[in-house]
Structures are given as C-alpha cells and as structure tokens.
C-alpha cells in the first residue's frame, strides 16, 4: 500500500491534493538527482590520492606506513575518507588483511616520506587539497586502530580472485587537524605490490 505525503496546500488547482510518494511509516521517498559524489566534485571539494605500495607494513609500526598516507596539516579542516580502491600486481607471501589506520598528535610532517604517486582534485583542473598526501612516511606514533576492508593472500596472481576492489567508506573515518590516516596491514604483507587510492573530501571544522 502506498502512503501519500502532503507537500503543498490542500487546495491546489482543481482541489486535488498535491502529494509525493511516502514510505510505510510516512517518510518521504527521494532519489538521487546526480551521482553520490557529484556535488562535492562539482564544487571542487573531492580529492584523490594514489600510491603504489610495496609490502604495506603492519598498522602497529610507525616507520614506513602507507599508503596513501594523508596528514591533515590544516588548522580549520577535517579530512573525511569517502572510499578506497586497490588492485594488486604482485602477490604477498604473507596472508593479511589490509585496512585503514591513523592517529592524532602529528603536529609536524611525517619523516622519511616518499612522494605520492598522484594527488588531485577530482574536478579536473581544480585546486589541490589543504592536507598533504605521501606514498609512505614515518609518523610520530603508530596507528591506534585498524579498520580492515579487504584481504590479500598468497595465491598466484593469475588465479587470484581479489582483482580490483572498490570500498565505499561513506565518511566513516574523519581525520582532524594534526592527525593522519593511512592504509596499512594486519601483518606486514611481504612482497605485495598494490595500487591503492583514497577518495576524500575536506570539511570546515
């Protein structure tokens, strides 16, 4: 049974109610006019960071964590992770999960960094983000959480079922000023070579 939600005057035109389709409990039904990230991209506030990573380290290790490794060196902006994608080109010899880690207290830039492979505005030609992205780096402290999103295993690449993965994070990880977030592993994924990318936005604090 369809519910009708009154959206205007009861006396519209010829007196017929102006209604919109409602859900079972009276909520209004809506649909996307554009793609999920369109408005952020259109307004030049959707970014990507891509890193080619060899042997991602375990999340409890500060040295060489990444990547991408995003350091929020702004004073007035939160970095909000929206999605992550990856594909492997060399398999690991250590089965592991890969996921997201991070921590606070990063008041200075990570050390021993290597340059990010690409970091761009997803409105082509748009401004770069306020935060800074690296391929890998050494943070002032190791990650203090691990949010797994995929597994990597030791099967031959030709038979591997992982392929390319795309995980919608939906903004569930927020990186405040002087904090960082990165992809890491549950155990150092020896020999793994992966192309990993974050999609994120920046929101005023």
**What is the pLDDT, as a whole number, of residue 155?**
86
- The three-class DSSP label of residue 49 is strand
Q: Per the structure block, which two tokens stand in for 134?
A: 């690296």
**Residues 61, 110 share a domain:** yes
**What is the pLDDT, as a whole number, of residue 20?**
64
**Residues 96, 192 share a domain:** yes
**Residues 165, 92 share a domain:** yes
**Residues 127, 46 share a domain:** yes
Number of domains in the chain: 2
**What is the pLDDT, as a whole number, of residue 156?**
85
**What is the pLDDT, as a whole number, of residue 178?**
98
**Residues 65, 13 share a domain:** no
Question: Nearest Cα to 159, choosing from 88, 94, 69, 54?
Answer: 88
- With contact defined as beta carbons under 8 Å apart, do 105 and 140 qualify? yes
**Residues 121, 70 share a domain:** yes
**Residues 105, 26 share a domain:** no
Domain of residue 163 covers 38-204
**What is the pLDDT, as a whole number, of residue 38?**
93
What does R_g of the chain's alpha carbons equal in angstroms?
22
**Residues 163, 110 share a domain:** yes
**Residues 13, 85 share a domain:** no
**Residues 52, 149 share a domain:** yes
Query: For the chain (length 205 residues), average pLDDT per consecutive 10?
Result: 53 56 72 84 97 97 96 97 94 94 98 98 97 98 96 83 80 98 97 96 96
**What is the pLDDT, as a whole number, of residue 14?**
53
Exposure string (b/e) for 130-156, b if CB count within 10 Å is 16 or more?
Answer: ebbbbbbbbbbebbeebbeebebeeee
**Residues 97, 23 share a domain:** no
Question: Nearest Cα to 73, choosing from 135, 118, 130?
Answer: 130
**Residues 58, 7 share a domain:** no
Question: Nearest Cα to 103, choosing from 76, 139, 132?
Answer: 139
**What is the pLDDT, as a whole number, of residue 33?**
75
Beta-sheet strand order (sheet of 77-90): 118-121, 46-54, 193-204, 77-90, 164-175
């Amino acid at each position: 049974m369809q519910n009708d939600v009154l959206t205007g005057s009861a006396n519209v035109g010829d007196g017929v109610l102006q209604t919109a389709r409602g859900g079972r409990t009276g909520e209004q039904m809506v649909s996307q006019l554009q793609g999920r990230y369109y408005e952020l991209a259109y307004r030049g506030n959707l970014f990507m960071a891509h890193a080619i990573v060899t042997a991602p380290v375990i999340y409890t290790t500060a040295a060489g964590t990444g990547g991408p490794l995003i350091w929020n060196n702004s004073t007035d902006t939160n970095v909000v992770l929206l999605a992550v994608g990856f594909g492997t080109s060399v398999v690991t010899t250590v089965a592991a999960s890969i996921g997201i880690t991070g921590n606070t207290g990063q008041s200075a830039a990570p050390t021993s960094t290597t340059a990010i492979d690409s970091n761009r505005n997803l409105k082509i030609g748009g401004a770069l983000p306020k935060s800074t992205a690296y391929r890998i780096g050494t943070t002032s402290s190791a990650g203090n959480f691990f949010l797994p999103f995929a597994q990597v295993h030791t099967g031959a690449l030709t038979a591997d079922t992982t392929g390319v993965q795309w995980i919608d994070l939906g903004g569930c990880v927020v990186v405040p000023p002087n904090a960082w977030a990165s992809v890491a592993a549950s155990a150092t994924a020896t020999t793994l070579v992966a192309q990993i990318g974050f999609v994120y936005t920046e929101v005023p604090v």
